[in-house]
Structure 1
């Protein structure tokens, strides 16, 4: 069963030292172990750490990339948060 994260939980993991989580289409990915393997370099992953990176991801990748890496990197999903 996958874990649920608030956007604050993800934001708290904005550096490699803290786990480096990113959000893509509501799913949370742990990137700390992948950051040095990323073909586009570590800089971009560090820049979007702790944030929703959907827009940046889809600008440079297609669905096959997500299918290839999701089993290894996906750690959960963003839980619904109450709207005030």
Structure 2
């Protein structure tokens, strides 16, 4: 255990308090990268009808996948929602929303949510409308009504 023993050598200069660098608030995370961050889209007032929302092209929405890129946007039925602040509140967890960042998730959304949730939680997150946003996953077919109801139910 001799290698753990601390000894001083007469020729070694020990640092004084003046030699120790002072901490600064300049961190590597705050060094400008040369590109300005994308601006966030403001939430639309609750009274604004969906048809009156501003239009954002689907290509622009695809770039918005995190807070650093101007907000995490998702699309449900051609309406754009900024879910950046809602991530930590989502009952299904953050990863569910993150997996659809910048894309359409309409059929997945409606499989787990109803109109009441959309009015209560979704409407305050609306920022715009769009067209042409792609869903990465093909919707599986749902088979409903394979049997025909007829006279045999007397």
Normalised by the length of structure 1, the TM-score is 0.86
Match of 1:59 among 111, 116, 137: 111
Once residues 125 and 61 of structure 2 are traced to their aligned partners in structure 1, the CA distance between those partners, rounded to angstroms, is 14
Specify which structure has the higher proportion of helix: 1
- Check if 1:21 corresponds to 2:78: no
Specify which structure has the higher proportion of strand: 1
**2:123 corresponds to:** 71
Root mean square deviation of aligned Cα? 1.5
Q: How big is the shift at 1:17?
A: 2.6
Structure 2 residue ranges without an equivalent (≥5): 1-51, 133-154
Once residues 123 and 110 of structure 2 are traced to their aligned partners in structure 1, the CA distance between those partners, rounded to angstroms, is 18
**Runs of 4+ that moved beyond 6 A:** none
Residue correspondences, number: 80
Structure 1 residue ranges without an equivalent (≥5): none
- Check if 1:12 corresponds to 2:63: yes
Q: Comparing both chains, which one has the higher relative contact order based on Cα–Cα distances under 8 Å and sequence gaps of 6 or more?
A: 1
Q: Secondary structure at the match of 2:65?
A: coil
Normalised by the length of structure 2, the TM-score is 0.49
Q: How big is the shift at 1:79?
A: 4.6
- Check if 1:3 corresponds to 2:57: no
Larger radius of gyration: 2
